[in-house]
Amino acid sequence: MNTQEALLNFCLRLADNNMIAAQRLAEWCSRGPILEEDLALTNISLDLFGQAENFYEYAATLQNNGKTADDLAFLRSEREYFNNLLVEQPNGDFAFSTMKQFLYAAFAKPLYEALQASKDETLKGITSKAVKEIKYHLRHSSEWLVRFGNGTEESLKRSQTALNELWRYTDDMFLMNDNDKALIEAGISIDLNTVKASFMATVNEIFKAAHLSIPETNNIITGGCNAIHSEHLGVMLCEMQYLQRAHPGAQW
Amino acid sequence: MSTQEESLKKFQQRIDADEKIEPRDWMPENYRKTLIRQISQHAHSEVIGMQPEGNWVLRAPSLRAKKILLAKIQDEGGHGLYLYSAAETFGVSRAEMIQQLQEGKAKYSSIFNYPTLTWADMGAIGWLVDGAAIVNQTMLAKCSYGPYARAMLRICKEEGFHQRQGYEIMGKMMNGTPAQREMAQDAMNRFWWPSLMMFGPPDTESAHSAESMNWKIKVESNDKLRQRFIDRTVEQAHHIGLTVPDKDLKFNKETMHWEFGPINWDEFWTVVKGNGPCNHQRMNHHIHYHNEGAWVREAASAYERKISAN
Summarize the confidence of residues B49-73 as an average pLDDT: 97
Band (pLDDT 50/70/90 cuts) for residue B208 is low
| 8 Å CB contact between B27 and B211 | no
Residue B159 pLDDT level (bands cut at 50, 70, 90): confident
Contact B289 A30 (CB under 8 A): yes
| Chain B contact set for A93 (CB, 8 A) | 292
Longest dimension (CA), chain B: 74
The band of B310, judged by pLDDT with boundaries at 50, 70 and 90, is confident
d(C-alpha A162, C-alpha B35), whole Å: 44
Which pLDDT value is given to residue B206? 74
Torsion sign across C-alpha atoms A185, A190, A196, A198: positive
Q: What is the DSSP string of A134-163?
A: HHHHHHHHHHHHHHHHTS-HHHHHHHHHHH
Neighbour tally for A244: CB within 10 Å = 19
Tell me the average pLDDT across B274-295: 97
Using a 10 angstrom Cβ sphere, with 0-12 exposed, 13-18 middle and 19 or more buried, the burial of residue B8 is middle
Q: Per DSSP, what are the bridge partners of residue B258?
A: B251
Q: Model confidence over A66-124: pLDDT tens digits?
A: 999 999 999 999 999 999 999 999 999 999 999 999 999 999 999 999 999 999 999 99
> Which residue in chain A has the smallest CA separation from B178?
A250
Distances (CA, A) of B88 to A183, B97, B300: 56, 9, 21
Q: What are phi and psi of B183, to 5 degrees?
A: -60, -40
Rounded to a whole number of angstroms, the distance from the CA of A198 to the nearest CA of chain B is: 28
What pLDDT, on the 0 to 100 scale, is given for residue A1? 66
Check if the beta carbon of residue B71 is closer than 8 Å to that of residue B84. Answer: no
Helix/strand/coil for B190: helix
Complete DSSP assignment for B47-100: HHTHHHHHTTTTT-SSHHHHHHHHHHHHHHHHHHHHHHHHHHTTT--HHHHHHH
At residue B51, does pLDDT exceed 90?
A: yes
For every residue of A166-205, DSSP letters joined together read HGGGTGGGG---HHHHHHHHTTSS--HHHHHHHHHHHHHH
- Other residues' Cβ atoms within 10 Å of the Cβ of residue B24: 7
- Which element (helix H / strand E) includes A89? none
d(CA B146, CA B22): 6
* Mean of the per-residue pLDDT values of chain B: 95
**pLDDT of B209 strictly over 80:** no
CB A75 within 8 A of CB A241: yes
Residue B169 to chain A, least CA–CA distance (Å): 7
**Cα separation, A237 vs A17, whole angstroms:** 13
Q: Is the pLDDT of residue B207 over 70?
A: no
Average pLDDT over residues B236-258: 97
Contact call for A250 and B176, based on CB within 8 A: yes
Contact B299 A147 (CB under 8 A): yes
Size of interface A-B (CB pairs under 8 A): 132
Residue B108 has pLDDT above 70, yes or no: yes
Question: Of B275, B248, B255, B108, nearest to B192 (Cα)?
Answer: B248
Question: Per the confidence metrics, is the pTM higher than 0.90?
Answer: yes
- Whether residues B62 and A39 touch (CB distance < 8 A) is answered with no
Q: Using CA coordinates, name the residue in chain A closest to B181.
A: A250
DSSP state of B258: E
CA distance A54 to chain B (A): 10
Query: Across the strands, what pairs with B231?
Result: none
d(CA A225, CA A10): 9
Interface of B with A in 259-288 (CB under 8 A): 285
B169, A32: Cβ pair inside 8 Å? no
Q: How high is the pLDDT of residue A69?
A: 98
Which of A21, A212, A46 lies closest to A101, judged by CA?
Answer: A21
Residue B4 above 80 pLDDT?
yes
| Single-letter amino acid, residue A54 | N
Q: Which DSSP symbol is given to B27?
A: -
Mean pLDDT of chain A: 97
CA distance A225 to A83: 6
- Per-residue pLDDT at B204: 87
Neighbours of A184 (CB within 10 A): 15
CA dist., res. B156 & res. B138, Å (int): 7
Interface test with B, best of A20, A25, A27, A30 (most B CBs within 10 A): A30
Binning pLDDT at 50, 70 and 90, where does residue A53 land?
A: very high
pLDDT value for B211: 86
Please list, in sequence order, all residues whose beta carbon lies within 8 angstroms of the beta carbon of residue A112, skipping any fewer than 6 positions away: A127, A128, A130, A131, A134
**CB contact at 8 A, B191 and B129:** yes
CA torsion, points A155, A161, A163, A167, in degrees to nearest 10?
-170
Fold of A3-246: Ferritin (1.20.1260)
Q: What is the mean pLDDT of residues B236-261?
A: 98
